[in-house]
Amino acid sequence: MANPFEPGYIPPPPSPSGGLTPGIIQALAGTKPWVRFCSVMGFIGSGFMVLGALTMMAGGVFAGASGQQGSAVTFGVNIGGGIVYLLIAGLYIIPSIKLWKFGTAILNLMVSQSGVHLDEAMELQRGFWKFVGIMMLIMLVIWGIMLVIMIGGMAASRAAIPSP
């Protein structure tokens, strides 16, 4: 760095980007409580889903062990349903973790007031929206396939009904 006390020293020009203002940090500081709240709700929802899944699977195991008629079907349905719920719970936990990390980055930003933490917060937020967006695309594809199967099934059942 040049010595500013030397004669003829010319200070560098100000940054053309204009820098960031504390108002930006305040806006994110106002976001943090709600982000944390949604994240915690996501964790709690995932927890309930896991409990429900385990209860379902336990019910299936008991039904299978009972040996009654149809118990094998009940076992299969309950175990399958439980696995599906566990997968869904996993899908809910991932964005909740991303939101929690976003909230933590905002907290770091509020403490440090550093642009590095602002960049980190924005990246974490981008990661959250990317994950949610990809999940939505997958859900749309699944719904589309289910709709096609449903329409196909209805058309097939109508065709199977003999005409008078």
Partner 1 sequence: MENPYLTGNHVTDTGALPGETLGEIIGVLARTKPWVTLCAVVGIVAAGFSMIMAIIGGFLAAEAAGSGGVAAIALPVFQCFISTLVGLTYLFISIKLWRYGSGISRLIASGTPGDLLQALDRQRGFWKSAGIMVILGMLLVFLALLLALFTTPVSAEHMSGPH
* Single-letter code of the amino acid located at 58: A
Contacting partner 1 (CB under 8 A), which of 48, 72, 76, 123? Answer: 123
Query: With binding defined as CB under 8 A, does residue 48 bind partner 1?
Result: no
- Tell me which DSSP letter residue 6 carries: S
Min dist CB 123 to partner 1, Å, is 6
Query: With binding defined as CB under 8 A, does residue 157 bind partner 1?
Result: no
Closest CA to 25 of 115, 152, 94: 115
Q: Which stretch binds partner 1 (CB under 8 A): 9-17, 61-69, 75-83, 152-160?
A: 9-17
What span, in angstroms and rounded, lies between the C-alpha atoms of 131 and 127?
Answer: 6
Long-range pairs, 149-153, Cβ under 8 A, ≥24: none
What is the x/- site pattern for partner 1, positions 95-114, by CB under 8 A?
A: -----------------xxx
Query: With binding defined as CB under 8 A, does residue 132 bind partner 1?
Result: yes
Task: Answer yes or no: are the C-beta atoms of 78 and 56 closer than 8 Å.
Answer: yes
Query: With binding defined as CB under 8 A, does residue 116 bind partner 1?
Result: yes
What span, in angstroms and rounded, lies between the C-alpha atoms of 17 and 122?
Answer: 17
Q: Which stretch binds partner 1 (CB under 8 A): 34-42, 61-69, 73-81, 144-152?
A: 34-42
Task: Answer yes or no: are the C-beta atoms of 128 and 95 closer than 8 Å.
Answer: yes
* Pair of tokens at residue 96: 């909740």
Which residues of this protein are in contact with partner 1, per CB under 8 A? 1, 4, 11, 15, 17-24, 27-28, 30-31, 33-35, 37-38, 41, 112-116, 118-119, 122-123, 125-126, 129-130, 132-133, 136-137, 140
